Amino acid sequence: MAGGMFRWAAPVFARVGSRWSLGDADALARILEPYVPAGGRLLDLGGGTGALAARLAERLRAAVTVLDASPHMLRHAEGLPGVTPMGGDAEAMPFDDDAFDAVLVSDAFHHFGAPPAAAREMARVVRPGGGVVVLEPDPAIWVVRLVAAAECLAGEPGHFMKPQVFEELMRDVGVEGRARHQGQASYVYVGTVGGAPAMGGADS
């Protein structure tokens, strides 16, 4: 799921975990609420240090599992309230079918080595009618292309996708959804497994 940069960068990611503000967590919680009931289960795929997962566990009153391939990142998620850290790959998740109400992937999908396999697994582990929420940089923006080039030089997969391409990828695995830009360089995709797209509380 992640290359070598996440071994040496784990302490940095842990220190800057507060980059997820209360406002960020609230906005994501509003998107996820139609899918994740109180007491439900959310998968934070590629969630690293668990900083965002802990905020969402509190706001959604749900159990959040963080799945990440980097034990160095997951070490920082241990002991966080409402959060269960687990090691594993996005392309072969250690979960039963329909195990979660929703999956969140925040700025991590482009790190996965095999995007089609990761997409199939995301659709598999989320129950029918559950949600798929993905935040990604848009490679149509020049600064994102520079970041992509730098990540490739660092040994990362760098599978950055334009919003329309991502929508098609998820549609191919049975998730219907839409991507909308947020800010200048990224987009948020919200999809429903086996159903019509629901944007939840996303901003217009």
Full domain range(s) for residue 162: 5-193
Q: Distance (Å, rounded) from C-alpha 85 to C-alpha 64?
A: 9
DSSP assigned state of 5: H
Residue 200 lies in a domain: no
Between the alpha carbon of residue 39 and those of residues 9, 11, 59, 166, the distances in Å are 33, 31, 11, 30
CB 187 within 8 A of CB 180: yes
Condensed to tens digits (0 to 9), the pLDDT of residues 96-143 reads: 999 999 999 998 999 899 999 999 999 999 999 999 999 998 887 656
Residue 201 lies in a domain: no
Q: Distance (Å, rounded) from C-alpha 172 to C-alpha 44?
A: 22
Gyration radius (Cα) of the chain, Å: 15
- When the pLDDT of each residue in the chain is averaged and rounded to a whole number, the result is 83
Residue 16 lies in a domain: yes
Q: Does this model's pTM top 0.85? A: no
User: ∠178-197-52 over CA atoms, to 5°?
Assistant: 70
Residue 202 lies in a domain: no
Residue 199 lies in a domain: no
